[in-house]
Structure 1
């Protein structure tokens, strides 16, 4: 079942790249006492994600943070090495590149999709969330395209 606005989001252990390699992080720690935008993509280095979705957040990060957002997080069902390399390739220094390597986060929030047809396996749907101290305030799911979960849409929603 997909999470709903007003829900407290689950605490899941995921990975970010640290100085010594992948490091465990708890989603509850990332969200506690903070206002966060978390957006999810079906895959790092994929065309729509690399040409439009992540670059939009990179470009608008300062404007988004100026509206009171403490952190911008990008997640995908990819490992920490891939997420780190993708973030570096996209100059995403202001974005936390959060690896959901086993899809546990996507499953816990009810936002998986089966991409077995093109042999990508179970991945995350494309969406964006506004999270305030661990509670879901906004959830925009994109069934096709990037319009609802784009940086521009989220910036307008928090303005």
Structure 2
């Protein structure tokens, strides 16, 4: 059974990070003292649940965390800095700080280091999240210590709900677009003016025009979804925002 460290200080560790082809050291004092920080630990870079769910949702909800007093969101994994840097690029997770705990010092100090030799991983982090205020752990969400890789309580939504159950969460925005399309550019500008991040699938690069017709029944782009709701094209998006006020 993994023990919660609520009420205790985080371990005193130096993280060795590679930035702009130079080595940079960040201490836990620098990261946590006088600040409110959300940390989530996970088994490894580029692994399935970590890449498909854990990191993306924290990155997506970052504005809501910031609105509710969080200064920084940190992902910690027992990987080296080169792997973590490449993973952050692959994830396009600009809202999350990726800290390499290559020797497992921080993870061990948190009592979250586990043996995953059966997978050829060696010692890795158990999956957890925590809220740290001025270097002291206020709340930890630790996944149940069972076989496999449970992902039930350390997610971004659970942490945000703990911080503020009424926090307004950004809606997921997706659009089909095409290179050089002026209407697509207009739609993106409208979204950016509202501070709404989006993901897009570019026709001819990511998907075919047939995929757009199959999903929307339309052959033109852009085609936009907000919060799972189909909005339509750029004119429809403008009208949608006008109704929102």
TM-score tier after normalising by the smaller chain length:
over 0.9
Residues 13-71 of structure 1, C-alpha deviations (whole Å, 9 max, x = no match):
11333123342211121001100000001000000000000001111111111111000
Alpha-carbon deviation of 1:2?
A: 4.0
Larger Rg: 1 or 2? 2
Instruction: Structure 2: give runs of 5+ residues left out of the alignment.
Output: 165-245
Instruction: Structure 1: give runs of 5+ residues left out of the alignment.
Output: none
Q: Give the number of the structure whose residues are more often strand, by fraction.
A: 1
1:20 equivalent to 2:21? Answer yes
TM-score calculated relative to the size of structure 2: 0.63
With a CA cutoff of 8 Å and minimum separation of 6, indicate the structure with the bigger relative contact order. Answer: 1
Alpha-carbon deviation of 1:117?
A: 0.5
| Aligned-CA RMSD value | 1.3
Correspondence for 2:91: 90
Structure 1's consecutive aligned runs of 4 or more residues displaced over 6 angstroms after TM superposition are none
1:7 equivalent to 2:8? Answer yes
Correspondence for 2:159: 154
Q: Is the 8 A contact 1:22 1:80 kept in 2?
A: no
TM-score calculated relative to the size of structure 1: 0.95
With 19-28 and 30-39 compared, the bigger mean Cα shift is at: 19-28
Q: Is the 8 A contact 2:4 2:142 kept in 1?
A: no
Correspondence for 1:134: 135
Q: Distance in 2 between matches of 1:52 and 1:23?
A: 29
Q: Distance in 2 between matches of 1:17 and 1:36?
A: 21
Correspondence for 2:112: 111
Aligned residues: 159
Correspondence for 1:102: 103
